[in-house]
Amino acid sequence: MGAKKGQLKDIQKMLGGIEKADKPAAGAKLNAVKSAINSAFEGAQQNLAGGDDSGSDPTFDPTLPGTRPSLGHIHPITQTISHLTEIMGRMGFEVAEGPEVEDPWHNFVALNIPEDHPARDPLDNFYLATAKDPSGKSSVSAGDEGSQLLRSQTSTVQIRVMKEVQPPIRIISLGRVYRPDAPDATHFPMFHQMEGLLVDTNVTMANLKTVLRVFANNYLGEDVEIRFRPSFFPFTEPSVEVDFLWNGTWIEFGGAGMIDPNVFAAVGYDPEKVSGFAFGLGVERLCMRRHGITDIRDLYSGDLRFLKQF
């Protein structure tokens, strides 16, 4: 506001470069701005001098720090995802992402899940009404070419990565998956998975078990007890399920296994030259085990009294 070196004075000097026809309007605009700034400045001076008649507190000190607003904090599931990413990153795994709306090829076919497999049942998936019959009405069919669904597993990301990248591969994918489960203490229709994939030469089940044990010890503690049970998944062979001991009960927290040769063939890899393993872990169950949470529904209740504890 200085008469010689003020910023408003500098702007006034710039009026000389404006077209003659535009100068009157520009000058009027500048005068209006100067008047508003002068009025605000004088009003502030009057308030600080105690000459304000509006009833404001004359003892108010604008130099004192204000009241810090409540900003909340990161949700426990997001905290868990960040922690899992950091642990797996120390073992050389990079993060990969994929869409939550998928097609049957990525969600089932490329994962060696045949059309008659129960996992493809429309009652066990959220198929989207994106196709239309000749009458113009939307229809849903699990076998329709071009049909879409909310992904039921993050394994779809490993297919997308292997289609684009040649081995060696070491990635994890963390994100939401959807299954029409009835909500209870350990199930919810929307939950999060961490998918892991390692593809190279001479990869064995011993590598898989080592990675999962190192992960469990880092996240759940050195004293955690885990076990591997033989199982079956269409996209791995051999397959295992991984449990941890909690309150005297074995709780499943993921499935894993060596990648089936049919999956490699689907993405263009030679199963005679490469091998690998994959695993999928439930993020919510890991979060619940670490923080002593007994009901998964509490994580999505929106109750700040609960969420503020973490």
- Going by the annotation, the residues of the binding site are 237
Extended strands (E) in 26-136: 94-95, 101-102, 126-128, 131-132
Q: Are 258 and 236 in contact (CB under 8 A)?
A: yes
What is the C-alpha to C-alpha distance for residues 149 and 103, in angstroms, rounded to an integer?
6
Which residue from 118, 111, 108 is spatially nearest to 149, judged by alpha carbons? 108
Angle at 176 between CA 166 and CA 140, to 5 degrees: 95
Q: Are 256 and 208 in contact (CB under 8 A)?
A: yes
Q: What is the DSSP string of 102-128?
A: E-HHHHTGGGT--TTSGGG-GGGSEEE
**H or E segment and range at residue 257:** strand 249-259
Q: Are 178 and 147 in contact (CB under 8 A)?
A: no
Binding residue numbers for Mg(2+)? 237
